[in-house]
Structure 1
């Protein structure tokens, strides 16, 4: 059986009122949604299957079809299977009516393993090693259904306004602050990331930095390169028996906790949530308690308004004299001018900084300059200071795992509609359609979370057999998946047009 996919997007999307706070979902409900333009329907010709009927909803493709190879972590891996006596339980893979029509743009040298996973699906993949500017994206994003980026490419509201075909964004990294998540949601575009795959790499870097700082390794290495032999022990220490204070006890912080304890380091941690400690770690009641008790302070918090400059002059003053600061979290978390003051005064014995408020768009000599901030030159000159170019997750192992995780998430969303793991979207999933369900289609309906929206779609579906249905909302965006069985080609057209024409519609897709 051929497979099919059709989708229709509300051309207006959401238009949050001007009084809504920037970066917030607030105000979306006040937006008046207009009926979308229906996808073109061929005037003649009849389909001989469910898939052909779905294909009628959009212009037929002349691209050669490709045999679909399920990814290593397929949609069925995390969903329960059907157990109806006599029925086939083998999942029927739902794919676009022609995989070659799905175009994917991968930027910033995404891991080649991810490229392989996506090409195995038959998608057209355009691979680039560099980040793209906003102007480049605006000019070309309209040709793509999927975009994959790392941390340097900025997906702004202006970019999303031109992304007429875009279905999903893959961030091949932990952070998503480079993406306007509200603008993406307004267009019905799901955003996925890889929040955990590089945890070990970052944790190991922190351990290396702790040892490097306590032994003044970078200063000794620089001196020797300059021809100076300076064998000293003053101010150099073992890390065994010292106290590490971890700010943010999530996946990286907790893994760092275990590694540090294995080396004889005492661990304190502070988090806004009460969290169960691992090993002998102890949670502090306040940040100030942790700062005043730690020899090393390592930051592992997200970029939020609440974390901007959370470590400044007052916090440096609260730290022990001779302590060390390590920041592998986000560049906005630390006031770097205040850090330079603390290092120049000798209050801190050293620091390691891997992230900065502004970072170069590309590698190159001269890219790390005072144009990124007046503190750059000061930090270059402070003693026992390790400066690295955002390499916390830059290991072969981490990038390989990130590539696999995000590529599979993209495939699951494109082919099955599963939004599990999306950061700006309701997380909705359905168990697979089995190979015996040849007359079943899947509806993927992104809509405004407003009164009457579910009633409208359920009235449309009331005349059909709904095998399964799951819906959820995330603030002002809602997402519904529904499997409809026993439908013929004429009914498919009717279902598609009616759902895509609902007032709350943001994006409607049909899969078969």
Structure 2
């Protein structure tokens, strides 16, 4: 029986979807690592994670029975995508389902920081009545710089513009702006004119500590910084120094370089106890609506892949959508993207005496993926024959039953 393991408290909606599809599910509230993770990957066909579980090449290479990985979130930097593709494992995510949740949190935090609510809240709890308008500003008329104008960044821009903010953005790729947003030529050009800077970039070598002491020195006096992307993109110690020296007016940080694996572990940060800083425990996409939508979306993609070989939406894999299986059998073959591999496969099928009813092939990078519908079920030793062929990575057979 096909089984899945869901980590990090993935929404119960995903559990229901898998069970409806006849998939046995094991569910954990926290992340796994080391031997516990490898044991889970070795004994399940599907693994579902959020952002804390790190699945790297050694983990993937030890996962002999794993068919697919589901990232129940936007990002996929916690998975070695290249290693997964090389072994024939597609990785699916939910690039749109929680964008609104993150965008709403960012805009709310920007307003709170501009109004100096964190500081006044701390003082009020301590018994100090700090009524006054000094240092408190409206969002209307202020400039927000969005670094990374993808699904979330663009949504932030739409909401910010509705508040009357001026929106500038920078992205490494040319992006069509929404509303009146204007593209900046560089990160420096964007942040140097902004009252609010918000980060929405992936974790890559290029973005590692992109907001360091040099970048922070370019901020306007009193500007605020928000990060709900990845913890690696800010030099946290440099940020703490800038806040202590009043270079920045405040910050809202939702992601950190080192985060607890579970809610039972203690959290600590150099930003703790700073009155002008909002610290949240990686909850940018953590609304009931978002988690329910993510659970539905990613589970549906994983179930479709298991049932039909559909890889639409995979982030590291060629996209093939073969539709429902009508023929007696369907052969799913992952191979290296090299000349002659498809001809070799079809030659073996001809020797097997299996006629190809329909066939779809797509490639992405070094990976090729071909789905072949056959007029008969291949013999039991056919998969062994396929596996011995050079250039073939992984083969799976689906039957109409």
> For the pair shown, which has the larger CA radius of gyration, 1 or 2?
1
Please tell me whether the aligned partners of residues 222 and 248 of structure 2 are also in contact (alpha carbons under 8 angstroms): yes
Deviation at 1:495, TM superposition (A): 4.6
* 2:397 aligned with 1:510: yes
Q: Is the 1:134–1:154 Cα contact (8 Å) retained in structure 2? A: no
Q: Distance in 1 between matches of 2:237 and 2:355?
A: 64
**2:97 matched residue in structure 1:** 197
Q: By how many angstroms is 1:400 displaced? A: 0.4
Partner residue, 2:359: 469
Aligned to 1:145: 45
Matched, 1:178 2:70: no
- Mapping for residues 290-439 of structure 1, pairs under 5 Å: 290-364=190-264, 367-369=266-268, 376-377=269-270, 379-434=271-326, 437=327
- Structure 1 stretch displaced more, 314-323 or 296-305: 314-323
Higher normalized contact order (CA 8 Å, seq sep 6+, divided by chain length): 1
Give the counterpart of 1:120 among 1, 20, 23.
20
State the TM-score, normalizing by the size of structure 2. 0.94
1:213 is displaced (CA, Å) by 0.2
> Cα distance, 1:476 vs. partner?
2.1
C-alpha distance after superposition, 1:116-169 (max 9, x if no partner): 000001111111212222121223432211111111122233322331111111
The whole-number CA distance in structure 2 between the counterparts of 1:131 and 1:479 is: 31
Give the superposition deviation at 1:108: 1.1
SS of corresponding position for 1:126: strand
Distance in 2, matches of 1:433 and 1:141, equals: 28
1:499 to 369, 386, 397: 386
Kindly state the Cα deviation for residue 492 of structure 1 after the two structures are TM-superposed: 4.0
Match of 1:188 in 2: 88
1:448 maps onto 2:340 in alignment: no
List structure 1 segments (4+ residues) > 6 angstroms apart after TM superposition: none
Q: Find 1:459's aligned residue among 336, 343, 347.
A: 347
Rounded to whole Å, the distance in 2 between the matches of 1:383 and 1:142 is 47
| Cα offset, 1:509, TM superposition | 0.5
Contact 1:174 1:196 in 2 (8 A): yes
For these two proteins, the number of residue pairs brought into alignment is: 397
SS at match of 2:371: strand
Structure 2: distance between partners of 1:210 and 1:269: 16
Separation in 1 of the partners of 2:294 and 2:337?
32
- Alignment of structure 1 residues 63-74 onto 2, 5 Å: none
CA distance in 1, matches of 2:257, 2:203: 10
CA contact (8 A) 2:334 2:369 kept: yes
Q: Distance in 1 between matches of 2:160 and 2:303?
A: 37
C-alpha distance in 2 between matches for 1:398 and 1:464: 45
Is the 8 Å Cα contact of residues 449 and 478 (structure 1) preserved in structure 2? yes
Question: Contact 2:8/2:49 (CA < 8 Å) preserved in 1?
Answer: yes
Deviations along 1:177-198, one digit per CA (max 9) or x if unpaired, are 2222233223321111111111
- Counterpart CA distance in 2 for 1:133 and 1:186 is 22
Q: Which runs of 5+ in 2 are unaligned?
A: none
Contact kept in structure 2, 1:174 and 1:194, CA below 8 Å: yes
- Aligned partner of 1:159 in structure 2 is 59
| Aligned equivalents of 2:71, 2:295: Cα separation in 1 | 10
Q: Distance in 2 between matches of 1:135 and 1:394?
A: 28
2: CA distance between counterparts of 1:303 and 1:244?
22
Q: What residue ranges of structure 1 are gaps of 5+ in the alignment?
A: 1-100, 370-375
Report SS of the residue matched to 2:192.
helix
Map 1:29-40 onto structure 2 (within 5 A): none
RMSD of aligned Cα (Å): 1.7
Aligned-residue offset at 1:324: 0.9
Structure 1 residue 332, shift from structure 2 partner: 0.9
Q: Which residue number corresponds to residue 143 of structure 2? A: 243
